[in-house]
A and B are shown apart, each in its own frame.
Chain A
């Protein structure tokens, strides 16, 4: 079945370091791909999305490119801040009324 695999956390970085969180997917057809972020004590918020191959989603300095050839959607940020500390979830969705399939989440901890 369709699935999403994320790198295990926690990812621990110093402020201003470069961030990569790996995400790969398995799916038939052409899913849309998403990154969600969950700050402590809050619900999930959509961070960015890409709906077709080679699309790049971006928001708040975060970027991810939909790579169909490697079935990947890695999250990157050039310079992380303490305020980026959160859990990041990669997800895919096949159709507009289909459920989101989430990865297990990756906790990011950024220290000053």
Chain B
């Protein structure tokens, strides 16, 4: 157990739908990072939150949004889903003031049918 909790582990939904992925960071970590991993695109950085504020944005589609709540958990919202959104979505946490990489959760596998 890495200490980063992601739910759900698996999600199957239809095109056009909206889903919410949840991440609880490791205790003490202030940063949450979201990544998308698909077979043909590797690991793509989506967005970072630090202590409730958006810190950095990567290749995140306008149909996707995220937020970090006061208790530091984060949610990634994916809407108007397309077949191409099927991927593994990872959350990672870090940022305790040392350069130590991140700790990753085990991911949410999203399948859009």
Interface string of B83-113 (1 = CB under 8 A from A): 0000000101011111111111111000000
A73 within 8 A of B: no
Question: When the two chains form their complex, are residues A46 and B101 in contact, meaning their CB atoms are under 8 A apart?
Answer: yes
Contact partner of A44 (CB less than 8 A), chosen from B31, B56, B90, is B90
Give the interface centre of A36, A46, A96 by most chain B CB atoms within 10 Å: A96
* A105 near B43: Cβ-Cβ < 8 Å: yes
- Nearest-neighbour CB distance to chain B for A32, whole angstroms, equals 4
What chain A residues lie within 8 Å of B2 (beta carbons)?
Answer: 43, 45
Q: How far is the CA of A97 from the CA of B92 in the complex (A)?
A: 12
Q: Would A96 and B106 be within 8 Å (CB), given that A89-B43, A105-B43 are in contact?
A: no
Most chain A beta carbons < 10 A, residue from B43, B56, B98, B101: B101
A residues in contact with B105, CB < 8 Å:
43
A93 touches B101 (CB 8 A): yes
Knowing A95-B99, A97-B31, A97-B95, say if A102 contacts B104 (CB, 8 Å): no
Docked-complex contact A51 and B101, CB < 8 angstroms: no
- Determine if A60 is an interface residue (Cβ-Cβ < 8 Å): no
* Chain B residues whose C-beta falls within 8 Å of the C-beta of A99 in the assembled complex: 33, 45, 48, 56, 58
Contacts of B45 in A (CB 8 A): 99-102
- Tell whether B55 is near chain A: CB-to-CB under 8 Å: yes
Which residue on B lies nearest to A48, using beta carbons? B101
Residues of A at the B interface (CB closer than 8 Å) are 32, 34, 36, 42-46, 49, 51, 89, 91, 93, 95-102, 104-105
**Residue ranges of B at the interface with A (Cβ–Cβ < 8 Å):** 2, 30-31, 33, 42-43, 45, 48, 50, 55-56, 58, 90, 92, 94-107
List 29 contacting pairs A-B, 8 Å CB cutoff, sorted by A: A36-B104, A43-B105, A43-B106, A44-B90, A44-B104, A45-B2, A45-B104, A46-B101, A46-B103, A49-B101, A89-B43, A95-B99, A96-B94, A96-B95, A96-B97, A96-B98, A96-B99, A97-B31, A97-B50, A97-B95, A99-B33, A99-B56, A99-B58, A100-B101, A102-B42, A102-B43, A104-B42, A105-B42, A105-B43
